[in-house]
Amino acid sequence: MKASLPLLALLFSTAPAFAALPPDIKAGEIVQVELAQLHPTQAAIGYRQLDYKQHRYQADPEKLFDDYCESMGQKGVKSFTPRSTLRDPASFSCKAPVGSEPGPMKTAVIGPDNQLYLTDGHHTFSNFADMAGLSTPVQVRITDDFRPLKSQAAFWQKMAAAHLVWLGTPNGKIAPEALPQELGRQHMQDDEYRSLIYFVRDIGFDKPDNPPPFLEFFWGQWLSRELPLKAFNLRDRDGYAAAVKKVAEKMVSVPKDTVIAQSDNGPLTAQALGARDAVNQKALNKLSADNGKLSWAFKR
């Protein structure tokens, strides 16, 4: 990131959760806040996806600090000790200053209520919340300042038009007011289909270079109509692997011009959502191997 990018650090050590933001924050700036200050813009996450990452982090703390540093735009972890904790970024060091590599950074917008709404990174930050607590400090990049809008209703209309909010849940669509206020599995719903889509990536579909917003949720909605999960034992590693295989086969067998979902920009076909021509058997075997992602997701 260019050195001219502004960096505004909020005093997370003294500011209570949901503290009002200073009025001089602008879109394009990076701010430091506690996880508790970030309101989700989706109601559900994939718990099994969280299981995979959190079990990895428990066994390999370097991976935890590396992912944290990368999410802060700092290119990965440089050093840490057994006493290092995400709650105290001074207890470990990253390879570069905050924002040096902005691509992996998570994003948020400012609402008319002067609160921050997370628009990317719900799984990553939920992992950090579950591992270290909602008082964990993080850096986010502000993409939009919607404080000039006159109401929360206008804000949610703007968010929907900009594809910055997902109101679907496993139990149907909700109103914006029903969105959870905080991150983490304690506050957000579990979406089994969302987890399956995570694990089937690069097996049944390849994420496009410029994916449409909510690609994984669109695939998940389609699968919820096409493939009931009651036939699979999703609490068992082998049963889960069988479900991933079936999902991948379903994705590659559907004609590429099949409309998977309707968006505000028009129909989204299987091809637009990255459906592969054939199941990537090598990647499927790796996923299911003894040291693959599923072995971590079901680690006891």
Same domain, 213 and 164: no
Compute the average pLDDT of residues 15-20. 48
The answer as to whether 213 is a domain residue is: yes
Same domain, 183 and 237: no
Out of 189, 213, 235, pick the residue that ends a domain. Answer: 189
Q: Which residue has the higher pLDDT, 134 or 10?
A: 134
- The helix/strand/coil state of 78 is strand
9 pLDDT more than 50: no
Compute the average pLDDT of residues 275-293. 97
108 pLDDT more than 80: yes
The answer as to whether 260 is a domain residue is: yes
- State the total domains in the chain: 2
Same domain, 123 and 36: yes
Q: What pLDDT does residue 20 have? A: 64
pLDDT band at 102 (very low <50, low <70, confident <90, very high): very high
Out of 189, 210, 225, pick the residue that ends a domain. Answer: 189
Domain span at residue 197 reads 192-297
Cα 33 off chain centre by: 18
Q: What pLDDT does residue 19 have? A: 55
Segments in 235-280 forming alpha helices (H): 237-253
Compute the average pLDDT of residues 189-216. 96
Compute the average pLDDT of residues 132-147. 97
Statement: the pTM of the whole predicted model exceeds 0.75: yes
Q: For strands 189-190 and 137-145, give the pairing.
A: unpaired
Q: What percent of the chain has pLDDT over 70?
A: 93
Q: What pLDDT does residue 16 have? A: 41
Q: What percent of the chain has pLDDT over 90?
A: 89
The answer as to whether 1 is a domain residue is: no
Strand blocks (E) in 95-250: 107-110, 116-118, 137-145, 189-190
Cα–Cα distances in angstroms (integers) from residue 86 to residues 69, 95, 128, 191, 197, in the given order? 10, 16, 8, 27, 28
